[in-house]
Amino acid sequence: MPFRSDGSQKNCPIARGLDVLGDPWSMMIMREVFFGNFRFEGMLQRLGAAASVLSKRLGRLVDDGLLIKTPYDGSRRRWEYRLTDKGEDLLPVLNAVVQWSEKHMSAPNERAHMSVLQPPSGAQRESRAGA
């Protein structure tokens, strides 16, 4: 859950980081992008989030410089969400959460395990000035 106050100006780097990453939906969206799921419809289906929640979180991740929107359908304005350098730098954080959870949290079933994540295969990373 995001902080109720803006943590971006705090002296503590954990508070600043959680201001961007502290919302569970944001972390799950980033997981999806690392899995190669770049489109809104695919994320909506896999995450089961409300469209309004997904749209708001994607907008925040774009505003915070972790993702960039790129058009993918010329006939209709549709977007893919690609990693920026800043977004790709989140990979070790996601992997640390995976490793910690696998070690310390009980899985609800045998299918509920995950290996360490890798950048999307063959995916182009988008650079963003100032990101």
pLDDT (tens digit per residue) in 26-76: 999 999 999 999 999 999 999 999 999 999 999 999 999 999 999 887 657
Any domain includes 17:
yes
Number of domains in the chain: 1
Task: State the Cα torsion 59-46-73-61 to the nearest 10°.
Answer: 20
Any domain includes 122:
no
Any domain includes 115:
no
pLDDT (tens digit per residue) in 81-107: 999 999 999 999 999 998 899 889 988
| Residue 22, domain CATH | 1.10.10.10
Single pTM value for the model? 0.80
Any domain includes 123:
no
Any domain includes 114:
no
Q: Is the dihedral of CA 115, 67, 127, 72 positive or negative?
A: positive
Instruction: Kindly tell me if the per-residue pLDDT of 131 is higher than 60.
Output: no
Range of the domain at 76: 13-104
